[in-house]
Copies of this chain bind each other. A is one copy, B any other.
């Protein structure tokens, strides 16, 4: 399965996916990493690892114009699954239509709690005792879309944003690769808002 990964910064989830692939835990290959921001650290990391990487700057373009460029580049690279990894833009309906049920995101909260920016800080400010992360299919709305997997972590009384973020991030890295692998194995079925995970096939 050919992955296209969209980033805006470091994209630590991109690195985690690349690691899962190189360790043989994920049957996929990264066809291309695209950043909408020049100088994104993730582009360097990709290049250093020999993974095709490209910046398509979004500045000055409206959403439809930009998404058209993205779609072209992803299609040219025969991408089958688009994975957002800290990509700081909403995608247009046309983009979603170009990759129906083929765009994934990971969010650092147990959605629908704490959508949007700084999910970890939102969780701390609210005072929850359990936080986590969510891998979900992407639709045109913010952190919406059917949920593939979630993973919970405890919030400790002395947590700050950094310590909680680190605990969640470890789960993000594991959970994102696991979700992509389930899709690669064709075990993920979307039924309305619900995602059913089919059992492993007998060998």
Contacts and interface: CB of A to CB of B under 8 A. Distances in A.
B132 A147 contact: no
A66 to B, nearest CB: 29
Given A152-B152, A157-B196, A196-B157, A111 B128 contact: yes
A14 to B, nearest CB: 23
A161 interface: no
A195 B113 contact: no
Interface string A120-145: 00001111111010000000000000
B157 A197 contact: yes
Contact of A147 (B110, B129, B195): B129
Contacts of A146: 127
A193 interface: yes
A180 to B, nearest CB: 16
A89 interface: no
Nearest to A112: B113
A194 B159 CA distance: 11
B193 A126 contact: yes
B112 A195 contact: no
Contacts of A125: 193
A112 B114 CA distance: 8
23 contacts: A110-B130, A112-B113, A112-B114, A112-B128, A113-B113, A124-B194, A125-B193, A126-B147, A126-B193, A127-B147, A127-B192, A127-B193, A127-B195, A128-B150, A129-B147, A129-B148, A129-B149, A129-B150, A130-B132, A130-B150, A130-B152, A157-B196, A157-B197
Given A111-B128, A130-B150, A157-B197, 16 more contacts: A110-B128, A111-B113, A112-B126, A112-B128, A125-B193, A126-B193, A127-B146, A127-B147, A127-B193, A127-B194, A127-B195, A128-B150, A129-B148, A129-B149, A130-B132, A157-B194
